[in-house]
Amino acid sequence: MSPGTRTPLIAGNWKMYKTVAEAEEFIQALLPRVSTADGVDVAICPPYLCLPAMLDSTRGSRVEVYAQNMHYAEAGAFTGEVSAQMLLEVGVHGVLLGHSERREYFGESDRALQLKVPVALDAGLRPILCVGETEEERERGDTERKLRHQVQEDLAKVPVDRLGDVVIAYEPIWAIGTGQVATPDQAQEAIAFVRALVADRSREEAERTRVLYGGSVKPENASELMALPDVDGALVGGASLDAESFAAIVAAAR
Nearer to ligand PEP, 199 or 248 (CB): 248
Nearer to ligand PEP, 118 or 132 (CB): 132
Minimum distance from residue 54 beta carbon to ligand PEP (Å) = 18
Minimum distance from residue 33 beta carbon to ligand PEP (Å) = 18
Active site residue 99: yes
Nearer to ligand PEP, 205 or 230 (CB): 230
Which positions from 137 through 196 interact with ligand PEP, judged by CB under 6 A? 171, 176-177
Distance CA 117, CA 127 (A): 6
Active site residue 135: no
Cβ–Cβ under 8 Å, residues 253 and 222: yes
Please select the residue that binds ligand PEP; options are 65, 168, 235, 243, rule is CB under 6 A. 235
Q: Is 217 in the site for ligand PEP (CB under 6 A)?
A: yes
* Annotated catalytic residue within 64, 101, 108, 171: 171
Nearer to ligand PEP, 214 or 219 (CB): 214
Minimum distance from residue 179 beta carbon to ligand PEP (Å) = 8
Which positions from 13 through 52 interact with ligand PEP, judged by CB under 6 A? 13
Minimum distance from residue 20 beta carbon to ligand PEP (Å) = 21
Distance CA 111, CA 45 (A): 23
* Annotated catalytic residue within 71, 99, 108, 205: 99
Which residues are designated catalytic? Answer: 99, 171
Binding footprint of ligand PEP on the chain (CB under 6 A): 13, 171, 176-177, 214-217, 235-239
